[in-house]
Amino acid sequence: MARGKFFYGWVIIGVSFLNLAVAFGIWYSFSVFLVAVSREFSWSRAAVSGVFSLFMMVQSLAAVMIGAFIDRFGPRIVFPAASVLIGFSLWLTSTIESISAYYLWYGVLTPVGICAIGYIAHSMVLPRWFEKKRGLAIGIAMAGVGVGMQVMVPLTQYIISLWGWRVAYRILAISTLVVLFIPNALLQRRNPEEIGLIPDGGAMDTEEKRTYQGFVDVPKPVAQNLSHALRSMAFWFLVASSFFTSFAVQSTLIHQVAAVVGKGFSSAKGALFFGLTGIIGSAGKILFGYLSDRLGREPAFTLGMGSAFLGIVSLMLLTPQYDFLLYAYAVLFGLGYSSVAPIFPARSADFFLGPDFGKIVGIFSLIGGMGGAIGVWFSGKLFDLTGNYTTSFLLAAVFMILNVLFFRWAGTVARRHK
């Protein structure tokens, strides 16, 4: 494939954008199903919310298993299978008559499918297609998350208002099969080498293949299999960064609306700025992916977390008299937290891309999921103890600093291998 010709990797990015939009549309649509389902059965909000807590835990726990499947079978097998599993589980969810069935079908079965075609799975697949434009490409694909949130959640609410939540789940089930199964079965490939290409384009049998080194910021790989990675300090620094990043981001995101309402604003306004944060986050994923290619992973990540840090400070200082800080929060935190989506998978691939890359990313995702789950619970506990979110957000801000330090230390250690 000569230079200047269209690179098939961009087809993979387009399909990935679609996958992530649908997967996270299903993920965040739980918020509108929660009200409808709990009202019909007179179940407590705590009982129904527990379904989503289980969903998040299972999604994280499945990461290592899904990584092993992707390493062995590739996305052309795993992604279509995931769409079938999601469609099947959503259809079963539409038939529930007990809370235990809700926990089983949506809380256990659905998240395995989401893990196999969502953020975790794409963090394993996309970095194989690009080196020079790795951050930008991943950022474009990850922008599908925000689009799915903004399109599918209100659309699902509209369907529920017309025909009820059971029909809405069935429409989601059928749509998932139609929209995701066909393009993934036809267009997915394991890596560019499978079709005679190299990352970023070019034919494998050209001189370019023998001299290609990728972007200047990318250090020599630290390890190419799991056992070597486990003996690397760079791996453990990234593990720590993943934990602290997810703790800080998820504890802020999940409690942001409640915090805004607690400061004297309406629930509608809080929800509006939650949506605005998501929209800005979609643009931020592309921006910081590009910056990570141009400036380097560590400088771009530092900028992103610095922006998120200032966003959290804005939320802490927010009062009705200084309502402009709500806009500052939406912009700064929305841009900042979005930097994680393209930069962390790109950096993981810089260091560990190889036959066990899926398993390695699975471990990062598992630890990150634990950090997020603990962060959301601990922030709620701190609120119960103090009556406000000041201590919680202060802790999140401190963890923003720690995750940057661990991320940068990982780069410092890795460069000693050059």
- Give the residue extent of every domain in the chain: 9-195, 226-415
Residue 117 has pLDDT above 80, yes or no: yes
Q: Compute the distance between CA of residue 291 and CA of residue 305 in angstroms, rounded to an integer.
A: 13
| Average pLDDT estimate for 155-168 | 90
Percent residues over pLDDT 90 in the chain = 45
pLDDT at 224: 66
Nearest to 314 by CA among 340, 284, 334, 300: 334
Residues with Cβ < 8 Å from 292, sequence gap 6 or more? 134, 135, 300, 301, 339, 342, 343, 346, 347
More confident residue, 89 or 356: 89
Residue 256 has pLDDT above 60, yes or no: yes
332 contacts 315 by C-beta, under 8 angstroms: no
pLDDT at 1: 41
Lowest mean pLDDT among 214-228, 246-260, 269-283, 332-346: 214-228
pLDDT at 207: 42
- Dihedral angle, C-alpha 150, 151, 152, 153, nearest 10 °: 40
What's the CATH code, domain 226-415? 1.20.1250.20
Mean pLDDT of the chain: 86
- b/e 299-336 (16+ beta carbons within 10 angstroms → b): ebbbbbbbbbbbbbbbbbebeeeeeebbebbbbbbbbb
Separation in Å, CA 156 to CA 30, 136, 148, 162: 10, 30, 11, 10
Residues with Cβ < 8 Å from 228, sequence gap 6 or more? 222
pLDDT at 175: 93
Judge if 9-195 and 226-415 fold alike in CATH terms. yes
The alpha carbon of residue 279 and the mean position of all alpha carbons in its chain are separated, in whole angstroms, by 15
118 membership: H or E segment, kind and range = none
More confident residue, 366 or 418: 366
Query: At CB < 8 A and 24+ separation, what contacts does 381-386 make?
Result: 383/255, 383/258
Q: Compute the distance between CA of residue 148 and CA of residue 232 in angstroms, rounded to an integer.
A: 37
| Average pLDDT estimate for 404-409 | 95
Lowest mean pLDDT among 43-57, 61-75, 145-159, 188-202: 43-57
Percent residues over pLDDT 70 in the chain = 90
Which neighbouring-strand residues pair with 197? 203
pLDDT at 112: 96
pLDDT at 382: 84
* pLDDT tens for each residue of 5-50: 789 999 999 999 999 999 988 987 887 787 788 889 988 866 877 7
> Which amino acid, 404?
V
More confident residue, 220 or 5: 5
pLDDT at 311: 93
| Average pLDDT estimate for 362-388 | 83
pLDDT at 16: 96
* pLDDT tens for each residue of 119-128: 889 988 999 8
First to last CA, the chain: 30
Residues with Cβ < 8 Å from 366, sequence gap 6 or more? 60, 61, 63, 64
> pLDDT category, 213, cuts 50, 70, 90?
very low
Kindly indicate whether the domain formed by 9-195 is annotated with CATH number 3.40.50.150: no
* pLDDT tens for each residue of 262-320: 888 776 666 676 677 778 888 899 999 999 999 999 999 999 999 999 999 998 998 88
- Dihedral angle, C-alpha 331, 337, 338, 344, nearest 10 °: 160
Residue 208 has pLDDT above 70, yes or no: no
> pLDDT category, 210, cuts 50, 70, 90?
very low
Q: Compute the distance between CA of residue 163 and CA of residue 176 in angstroms, rounded to an integer.
A: 19
333 contacts 307 by C-beta, under 8 angstroms: yes
Q: Compute the distance between CA of residue 71 and CA of residue 348 in angstroms, rounded to an integer.
A: 15
Residue 352 has pLDDT above 90, yes or no: no
15 contacts 188 by C-beta, under 8 angstroms: yes
pTM: 0.80
59 contacts 111 by C-beta, under 8 angstroms: yes
Q: Compute the distance between CA of residue 220 and CA of residue 416 in angstroms, rounded to an integer.
A: 9
